[in-house]
Homo-oligomer: A and B are copies of this chain.
Amino acid sequence: MTKLRTLKVALLGCGNVGAQVARILIDDADMLASRAGARLELAGIAVRNLDAPREVELPRGLFTTDAETLIKDADLVIELMGGIEPARTLILTAMQNGACVVTGNKALVAKDGPTLHEEADKAGVQLSYEAAVAGAIPILRPIRDSLSGDRITRVLGIVNGTTNFILDQMDSTGAQFSDALAEAQRLGYAEADPTADVEGYDAASKAAILASLSFHTRFSLDDVYCEGISNVTAADIAAAKDAGFVIKLLAIAEKLGAEGTRTGTETGTETGANGATGVSVRVHPTLLPREHPLAAVRGAFNAVFIEAENAGELMFYGQGAGGKPTASAVMGDLVSAARSIVLGGPGRAETTTGQVTALPVTAAVTSYYIGLDVADQPGVLARIAQLFAEHGVSIEIMRQTIHRDADSKVESAELRIVTHRASEAALAATVEAVKGLDVINSVTSVLRVEGV
């Protein structure tokens, strides 16, 4: 065997994922060399605090606080610090120096992807970030490469393990949100400050990245409508369960209307509200039929469901977080980048020739699940149905449950409605109007439905 060349790898950050990446680079050096066609030498690990405890025991001499110097000689830079700065500047500098960059920084890619890609193109280096979305699951490369000859029409993703664990707990135990969150925190699935996860911000970054790759157009975080799960109640979950649904926090990117001259293709792309055409990117709690492939994704697992014109329905499933799974995605990117350096040529880049428009959430077309506490009077159902019809919203399922006390006296009447697909605006207006009816005691839940 001829002597392999050596490529220098600089690692920025040494948290859960970084420590596992360092371990793999050291322990599996021979395997990586055979896969990449070059030896990958871990030149150093830049950290803020040299004395912080690490998940994995690593040679003390590798650590430095001087990231700027470390990246100067690197052929490959792995950024796992998180946050916008100094990560952004270090990545840009590394690429200007000619290094290929692998990052897991979803917030940075979602916020400033265009700048990073522009710099990568200018420098002729690879920028890859498979680890930024859905941890170990190979999803960005399949979208970019494997589906490059197809048209993706819709992406539905469970891309945040924390919220999926919480919703799954609520579904299986009947717990309230706060108790399920506490359990998730106790088990290490949720952070002390869970805001980024439970309010959907983490999922929103991933939605922007998935939408950008799927629709060949750069979307940023600002294009994503975002609603978290902190308002989802045990009663919502129970009612959904009773109706054959499960509630998931979904990252959704879907094409509405024509792309170019194609309207009404066989896969049934529908036009958005008021004939809007473009892509709706949003994150919100969503009802899914229990038989939908995504409904079976339990605990902290992630999955991404894709619909494409020719491929049809695809699903990718796996661990969405954790040191080792995320490190697997980082290493896949690293070996691929190394291989492109060895083989020469600029390697594969994303295309952004799609030029589709990001639509506001009001243009989205979806179904609603609406729970109502109603008066038990004759004609209530008819009045409500009439009001839906006036707003152009068609009802798919309407079910009334009467709760009686021991003497068979009516205590309350509960009405559950699942609508057909309609525009967000029409649905919101309908709900507002319903609230104004004198026969309505309260609107107990309003949730979006997909997969029906």
Contact = CB atoms under 8 A, between A and B. Distances in A.
A360 interface: no
B343 A324 contact: no
B150 A331 contact: yes
Given A332-B149, A345-B344, A346-B345, A313 B318 contact: yes
A15 to B, nearest CB: 16
A149 B346 contact: no
A338 to B, nearest CB: 9
Interface residues on A, range: 35 or more
Contact of A332 (B148, B293, B319, B322): B148
Given A142-B142, A329-B146, A318 B324 contact: no
A314 B137 contact: yes
Interface in A305-340: 308-319, 322, 324-325, 327-336, 339-340
Contacts of A147: 138, 328, 332
Given A141-B145, A343-B345, A345-B346, A319 B312 contact: yes
A106 B139 CA distance: 24
A289 to B, nearest CB: 13
B146 A138 contact: yes
Give the most central of A146, A308, A335: most B CB within 10 Å: A146
A133 B312 CA distance: 16
Interface stretch (A30-38, A55-63, A247-255, A416-424): A30-38
Interface stretch (A46-54, A347-355, A373-381, A435-443): A347-355
Copies of this protein, total: 2
A316 B137 CA distance: 9
Interface in A274-306: 293, 296
A343 B124 CA distance: 11
A309 B20 CA distance: 12
Give the most central of A149, A327, A330: most B CB within 10 Å: A149
A260 interface: yes
A142 B138 contact: yes
Nearest to A261: B30
Given A148-B35, A149-B32, A149-B334, A311 B329 contact: yes
A146 B141 contact: yes
Contacts of A32: 149
A401 to B, nearest CB: 30
A344 B353 CA distance: 21
A335 B149 contact: yes
B315 A148 contact: no
A85 to B, nearest CB: 28
A241 interface: no
B308 A313 contact: no
Contact of A324 (B216, B296, B312, B314): B312
A130 interface: yes
Given A35-B149, A138-B314, 15 more contacts: A35-B353, A37-B351, A137-B314, A138-B147, A141-B142, A142-B142, A150-B328, A150-B331, A293-B317, A308-B328, A310-B324, A310-B331, A312-B319, A315-B318, A345-B346
